[in-house]
């Protein structure tokens, strides 16, 4: 695990301000209810790519700068999750990658995944870099459906400290496995990209 990860991923239930550096991701876009099968299939594709990179040395290829690491948690950027109808959700789910990962490494991981675990959604996956910069975040504990209470805390914090959201999107970082833990104990980092209000 990279030493820097804890500083801008893990947090407390108290709203905090952080600056997130540019990060690399394997990502895939989708639309619809995240409780349906397509969402899980997209997640499976991302993990097949992430583990293809993680296991490259065992396959006979060690990328420049490679180091032993734990695959990063799943993340999601949600574009219109304020609406009640989950079927209209638009999202990008992603898994962060270590700094040594390049377009070439992604292409090699893609070929490995396509050979070992082909899937029609694999063609939809892509490599990208994202710079969230100044952000406000909080650790939400509980069911995903109860996130609005944490979003309210974040908005109150921003109102009181002179921050505004850069977009209507928000990022979620899933620190728990929904299949292995009671939903009331799920840990999810909620994050807004923000700017300071101008006078």
Last residue of a domain, one of 79, 111, 130: 130
Mean per-residue pLDDT for 26-49?
A: 92
Q: Which of 133, 107, 134, 128 is nearest to 24 (CA)?
A: 128
Does one domain contain both 63 and 105? yes
Apex CA 136: angle with CA 18 and CA 74, to 5°?
85
Say which range, 31-40, 94-103, 150-159, has the weakest mean pLDDT: 31-40
Contacts (Cβ under 8 Å, ≥6 apart) of 142: 183, 184, 185, 186
Mean per-residue pLDDT for 112-141?
A: 94
DSSP alpha helices (H): ranges in 55-164? 103-116, 147-161
Last residue of a domain, one of 81, 101, 130: 130
Q: State how far the Cα of 63 lies from the Cα of 59, in Å rounded to an integer.
A: 11
Mean per-residue pLDDT for 57-79?
A: 95
Residue 171 belongs to what domain range?
Answer: 1-21+132-199
Last residue of a domain, one of 130, 158, 173: 130
Does one domain contain both 148 and 95? no
Higher pLDDT: 179 or 63? It is 63
């Amino acid at each position: 695990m990279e030493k820097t990860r804890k500083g801008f991923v893990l947090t407390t239930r108290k709203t905090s301000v952080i600056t997130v550096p540019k990060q690399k991701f394997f990502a895939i876009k989708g639309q619809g209810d995240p409780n349906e099968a397509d969402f899980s299939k997209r997640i499976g594709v991302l993990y097949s790519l992430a583990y293809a990179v993680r296991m490259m040395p065992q396959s006979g290829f060690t990328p420049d700068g490679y180091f032993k690491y734990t695959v990063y948690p799943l993340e999601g950027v949600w574009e219109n999750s304020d609406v009640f109808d989950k079927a209209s959700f638009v999202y990008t789910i992603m898994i962060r990658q270590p700094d040594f990962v390049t377009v070439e490494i992604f292409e090699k991981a893609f070929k490995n995944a396509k050979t070992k675990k082909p899937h029609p959604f694999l063609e939809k996956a892509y490599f990208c870099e994202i710079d969230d910069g100044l952000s406000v975040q909080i650790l939400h504990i509980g069911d995903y459906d109860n996130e609005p209470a944490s979003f309210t805390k974040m908005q109150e914090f921003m109102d009181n400290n002179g921050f505004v959201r850069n977009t209507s999107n928000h990022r979620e970082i899933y620190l728990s496995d929904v299949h292995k833990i009671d939903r009331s104990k799920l840990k999810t980092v909620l994050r807004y990209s923000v700017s300071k209000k101008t006078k």
